[in-house]
Structure 1
Amino acid sequence: MTLPDFSNLSRYRIMWVWALFDLPVLTKIERKNATRFRNDLLDLGFQMVQFSVYLRHAYSKEKAEAIAVKVGTCVPESGHVQILFFTDRQYQLSQSFFGKKSRMPTQQKPDQLTLF
């Protein structure tokens, strides 16, 4: 297996793929389908940001688009999924806030590039 050439990575070329979705969960089958979709996202390398918001790193626009196509094949029949793309530079500017009563720690942004 040949690894991609990471020597020319730029914060303007590296992408973050966001999957935002709204899935019905009124029936047992709908809940099962929603759970399956969330597990599919995890299997594709996404991490949960919020219950219906998942995030994944991609080293290029082409890789990000390929990931989006894979997500599209997993969408339940009655679901709605939106894929957003951000460069690493744009993602660097994001901020997270928690209410004063919240005990949740500020989430650290993932490393720029993680190979597993």
Structure 2
Amino acid sequence: MSTTIRDTPYGWRSVWVLALFDLPTETKAHRRAYARFRKDLLEDGFTMMQFSVYQRHCASRENADVRIRRMGSLLPAEGEVRFLVITDRQFGNIATFWGRDRQPNAPSPTQMELF
């Protein structure tokens, strides 16, 4: 029997949603769809982590599911988009390198989300 974050008494723990996407940009219509999707991500509270990878902190897995469903309804007609949900602890263990030097991880948000 597997246990998910929803099955635990700690299901309220915060998570991060990563949106990873490869969208075509060959035509003007493709570029317009790309720009629209990127704008939708930003309007929903995502921030750019790196090119074609956006991140959003969510107060709970349930809140993350809402965000994923909302963004899933706004996908462009072509291309590939993946949403990955990771715990705050896993996010804190991301190793970031710029050239050969390791950069410190971004701090977790200190403000609790209300919805």
TM-score normalised by structure 1 residue count = 0.79
SS at match of 1:34: helix
Alignment-derived partner of residue 45 in structure 2 = 45
Q: Deviations over 1:18-65 (max 9, x none)?
A: 000010000011001100100000000000011100000000010001
- 2:5 is matched with none
Q: Per the alignment, in what secondary structure is the counterpart of residue 97 of structure 2?
A: coil
Q: Which segments of 5 or more consecutive residues in structure 1 lack a partner in the other structure?
A: 1-9
Partner Cα distance (1:47, 1:114) in 2: 17
The residue type paired with residue 58 of structure 2 is: A
1:74 aligns to what SS in structure 2?
coil
Deviation at 1:107, TM superposition (A): 6.4
From the two aligned structures, give the one with the greater strand fraction.
2
CA distance in structure 1 between the aligned counterparts of 2:25 and 2:64, rounded to whole angstroms: 28
Find the partner of 2:107 among 102, 106, 109: 109
One-letter amino acid of the structure 1 residue matched with residue 48 of structure 2:
M
SS at match of 2:73: helix
The one-letter amino acid of 2:90's match is Q
Assess, with a 3 A threshold, how the Cα gap between structure 1 residues 79 and 113 changes in structure 2: closer, same or farther: farther
**What are the within-5 Å matches in structure 2 for residues 1-116 of structure 1?**
13-100=13-100, 108-113=106-111
How many residues in Structure 1 have an aligned counterpart in Structure 2?
Answer: 104
C-alpha separation in 1, matches of 2:84 and 2:110? 18
Q: CA RMSD in A?
A: 2.3
- AA aligned opposite 1:68: I
- Separation of aligned partners in 2, 1:58 and 1:115: 7
